């Protein structure tokens, strides 16, 4: 029913009461929150796994780049030494004669000692980098020690190593000695042209009884 205001003559609309919105059951609300939390947790795990994969890829790429830079630096160092000797015939002749045990005067002996020390120090740098880094752990044994061992196998090189071995850290000297022993015991040690050939190591000829 409607009511009319006696003063204004305006008919007022009756008071309409709207039905209340249904209140969700407590159990349904809890289930929805739990589902949302589980979805968020799954998404978080996926994000963490993706981040770890990305970081692993980045670390691997950085390791490869560092190793490449290290090898390039080593190559540049050794190239300077090799070109110093090979770029001049007189230097090459001096180097060959010194390794083969030629008698040297004091200035030439000093030059030979410096060249041998340069080879040893460059090899030491590779050994030291292998100890302090996680990449290229076999570089020293496979690629750096054998060239130095071949020099030490020579007549002049043996004498130099005997005189200056104590100037290097004992672990490094031991690794060089190990490479030297492996080269002497290698298949080339029976070859007269092998740099580690030692005539004193040959067995005495058999005596034939007439």
pLDDT at site 139: 73
In a domain? residue 29? no
In a domain? residue 53? no
In a domain? residue 9? no
Supply the range of the domain harboring residue 82.
Answer: 73-197
Contact 71, 63 (CB under 8 A): no
For residue 167, what are its two tokens?
A: 């100037």
pLDDT at site 115: 93
Q: Give how many domains the chain has, as a whole number.
A: 1
For residue 168, what are its two tokens?
A: 């290097």
- Give mean pLDDT, residues 198-206: 45
In a domain? residue 138? yes
Please tell me the number of Cα atoms within 13 Å of 7 on its side-chain side: 0
- Identify the sign of the CA torsion 83, 85, 159, 193: positive
pLDDT at site 162: 92
In a domain? residue 68? no
In a domain? residue 24? no
How many C-beta atoms surround the C-beta of residue 81 within 10 A? 13
In a domain? residue 158? yes
Q: State the virtual CA torsion across 192, 197, 201, 203 in degrees, nearest 10.
A: -20
Please tell me the number of Cα atoms within 13 Å of 155 on its side-chain side: 12
In a domain? residue 126? yes
Q: Where are the alpha helices (DSSP H) in the chain?
A: 26-86, 89-99, 106-132, 139, 145-153, 155-164, 170-184
* Placement of tokens 């990305």 in the chain: 54
Q: How confident is the model over 28-79, as pLDDT tens digits? A: 665 777 777 777 788 777 877 777 766 766 666 666 666 666 666 666 667 7
* Placement of tokens 């000695």 in the chain: 177
């Amino acid at each position: 029913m409607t009511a009319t205001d006696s003063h204004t003559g305006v008919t007022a609309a009756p008071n309409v009461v709207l039905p209340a919105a249904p209140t969700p059951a407590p159990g349904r609300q809890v289930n929805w929150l739990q589902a949302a939390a589980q979805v968020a947790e799954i998404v978080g795990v996926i994000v963490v796994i993706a981040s770890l994969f990305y970081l692993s890829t980045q670390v691997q790429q950085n390791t490869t780049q560092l190793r490449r830079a290290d090898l390039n630096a080593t190559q540049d160092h050794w190239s300077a030494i090799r070109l110093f000797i090979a770029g001049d015939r007189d230097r090459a002749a001096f180097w060959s004669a010194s390794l083969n045990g030629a008698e040297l005067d004091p200035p030439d002996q000093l030059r030979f000692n410096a060249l041998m020390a340069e080879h040893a120090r460059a090899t030491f740098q590779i050994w030291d980098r292998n100890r302090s880094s996680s990449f290229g752990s076999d570089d020293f044994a496979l690629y750096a020690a054998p060239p130095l061992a071949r020099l030490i196998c020579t007549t002049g090189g043996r004498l130099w190593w005997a005189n200056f071995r104590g100037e290097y850290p004992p672990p490094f000297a031991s690794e060089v000695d190990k490479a030297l022993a492996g080269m002497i015991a290698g298949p080339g040690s029976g070859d007269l042209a092998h740099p580690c050939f030692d005539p004193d190591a040959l067995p005495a000829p058999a005596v034939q009884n007439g």
